[in-house]
Amino acid sequence: MKKAFSKKNLWDKTPHFLKATIGSGLGIFPTEWLLGEKFRKNRRFARESQWWKPERIREYQLLKLREILKLAYEKTRFYHRLFDDAGFNPGNLNSLDDIKKLPTINKQTVTDNLEDMFTRPVTDSNVDFASTGGTSGMPLHFYINADRSSVEYAYLSTSWERIGYKVGMPMAVLRGRIVKPDGNGLYHEYDPVLKHHYYSSFHLSDENMARYLKHIATIGQCFLHVYPSSAATLARFILRRGIQAPKNIMGIIAESEIVYPEQRRMAEEVFNCRFFSCYGHSEKLVLGSGCEKSNDCHIWPDYGYFELLDKDGNPVRTSGQQGEIVGTGFINTVVPFIRYRTGDRAVYVDDHCEVCGRAHTIIRDIRGHRTQEVLIAADGSEISWTSLNMHDDTFIHVRQFQFMQEIPGQAILRVVPGEGFNDKDIAQIQRNLGAKLDGRITFQIAPVEAIALSARGKAIYVDQRISRDDIVS
């Protein structure tokens, strides 16, 4: 039994049958206790650190940066070479600004140099192999501390507390997990340790969604933990059917995908609760979320070192200006990520939150790899997917939709028809969306049975097959 809990990321790793076995014996113990001492210690820390004053934050960041830079320099061939070439000695890091003397790295750098980036043998039992979805075409593989999840979960659950979540409360989870049907054909699995009810987000037919909602209504005061797209699919279904959302859902926690403001508005209205989004990634470099009142992203300053850089590599500190998210992780001490360009972009808001007072960097409008989110007009210009989001009932009878584009100026709109879908819907979509596109892109509507999600089950809104290199503008 002890061994099962020695890996603190057991909620990812432990096979379901084992969880059920553990749970049947341990269900009487509080979830917090089962999550382990490391989780509880990190959570105590995060609960306190989120209120630190700027000086305390800078002091801590400097300490952690020195630690990780020293480790990287002394233990890895790659960083030793990189630092020497830059004339940089980690012992001389006197202020946070000094980190700018180092070059940034990216996904390609890690892929090309991975074997020279290990600080210790990756065959150790406390090291895990990890990879990211790579929806842009190039998956990233690396290694990371096996106990990372207890740290991340401490920060995440502390973020969720801002909208009333408490560890041990039931959670209805629709997040790309493969869930097999139970004896009654319901795609549902239960983890009694975490009190998580998992439903299959790959099976969002009207019939299944009706069953999920009916089941969720029976699990008591709970939170929905979803991909933003799953929340939107559920919300559209509820609207289409004209039914009520379960009243026991206290809040929606949305992660892993970009959040479109229109989806947030719709979900909050339909479920009558907060739609709370968090930003994070598998590399565990940057983590942020909203607060008690604001939906802007508050970056945790003690989770990793965050930078927002403009295209020339200079820090973005002007409100409203966009930059690329660059992170230096404090958690991964197996393969350090130092000044890693995530490819994600965001708009800078402020160095603190006016509403809650936390001295965290505030960003908004986080965007992933751009090629997934834009359509290309005949003249090579980009039309953002967000601008095509419909604020009305255009897609009411559609379960899922996605643009596929191979030729600038032309697209195919794949739609998965829902209940009541007919030719009128096709005409309505053509008319309403066509009005927005204004002839810059012509599109055909193709009803399909299903739309493939990314390898991690995330929705892709634009299956963009035009490479950016092909666009001359």
Nearer to Zn ion, 191 or 296 (CB): 296
Nearer to Zn ion, 269 or 350 (CB): 350
Q: Within 189-208, which residues bind Zn ion (CB under 5 A)?
A: none
Q: If you write DSSP's letter for every residue of 365-404 in order, what string do you get? A: EEE--GGGTEEE-TTS-EEEHHHH--SSSTTTTEEEEEEE
Question: Which residues are CB-neighbours of 424 under 8 A, at least 6 positions away?
Answer: none
Give backbone dihedrals phi and psi of 243, rounded to 5 degrees, phi first. Answer: -105, 175
Nearest distance, CB of residue 350 and Zn ion, angstroms:
10
CA distance 116 to 111: 10
Nearest distance, CB of residue 160 and Zn ion, angstroms:
14
Nearer to Zn ion, 291 or 308 (CB): 291
Site string for Zn ion, 340-359 (x = CB under 5 A): -------------x-xx---
**Quick count: other Cβ atoms within 10 Å of Cβ 392?**
8
Of residues 291, 297, 325, 453, which one binds Zn ion by CB under 5 A? 291
Nearest distance, CB of residue 315 and Zn ion, angstroms:
21
Task: Return the range that interacts with Zn ion (CB under 5 A); candidates 176-184, 188-196, 286-294, 420-428.
Answer: 286-294
Nearer to Zn ion, 20 or 356 (CB): 356
Nearer to Zn ion, 356 or 396 (CB): 356
Q: Within 356-395, which residues bind Zn ion (CB under 5 A)?
A: 356
> Using CA of residue 170, residue 174, residue 179, residue 180, what is the dihedral sign?
positive
Task: Return the range that interacts with Zn ion (CB under 5 A); candidates 96-104, 285-293, 303-311, 409-417.
Answer: 285-293
Closest CA relative to residue 413, chosen from 369, 381, 461? 461
Nearer to Zn ion, 29 or 51 (CB): 51
Question: Which residues are CB-neighbours of 438 under 8 A, at least 6 positions away?
Answer: none
Nearest distance, CB of residue 145 and Zn ion, angstroms:
30
CA distance 434 to 413: 12
Site string for Zn ion, 423-442 (x = CB under 5 A): --------------------
Nearest distance, CB of residue 293 and Zn ion, angstroms:
6
Token output for 314: 């200079």
Nearest distance, CB of residue 355 and Zn ion, angstroms:
5
Task: Return the range that interacts with Zn ion (CB under 5 A); candidates 202-210, 230-238, 274-282, 290-298.
Answer: 290-298
CA distance 305 to 269: 35
- Looking at this protein, which amino acid is placed at residue 275? F
Site string for Zn ion, 45-84 (x = CB under 5 A): ----------------------------------------
CA distance 355 to 234: 31
Nearest distance, CB of residue 262 and Zn ion, angstroms:
23
Question: Which residues are CB-neighbours of 317 under 8 A, at least 6 positions away?
Answer: 348, 351
Nearest distance, CB of residue 357 and Zn ion, angstroms:
7
Question: Which residues are CB-neighbours of 322 under 8 A, at least 6 positions away?
Answer: 310, 316, 345, 346, 347, 348, 365
Q: Where are the beta strands (DSSP E) in 232-385?
A: 249-255, 274-279, 288-289, 297-299, 304-309, 322-329, 340-350, 362-367, 374-376, 382-384
Nearer to Zn ion, 189 or 268 (CB): 268
- Looking at this protein, which amino acid is placed at residue 400? Q
Nearest distance, CB of residue 264 and Zn ion, angstroms:
16
CA distance 330 to 61: 9
Nearest distance, CB of residue 348 and Zn ion, angstroms:
15
Q: How many CA atoms lie within 13 A of 249 on its CB side?
A: 31
* Total interface residues for Zn ion by CB under 5 A: 5
Nearer to Zn ion, 20 or 355 (CB): 355
Of residues 104, 132, 205, 294, which one binds Zn ion by CB under 5 A? 294
What one-character DSSP code corresponds to residue 180?
-
Nearest distance, CB of residue 155 and Zn ion, angstroms:
16
Query: Should residue 169 be labelled a site residue for Zn ion when binding is judged by CB under 5 A?
Result: no
Nearer to Zn ion, 158 or 371 (CB): 158
Nearer to Zn ion, 116 or 350 (CB): 350
Which residues here bind Zn ion, judged by CB under 5 A? 291, 294, 353, 355-356
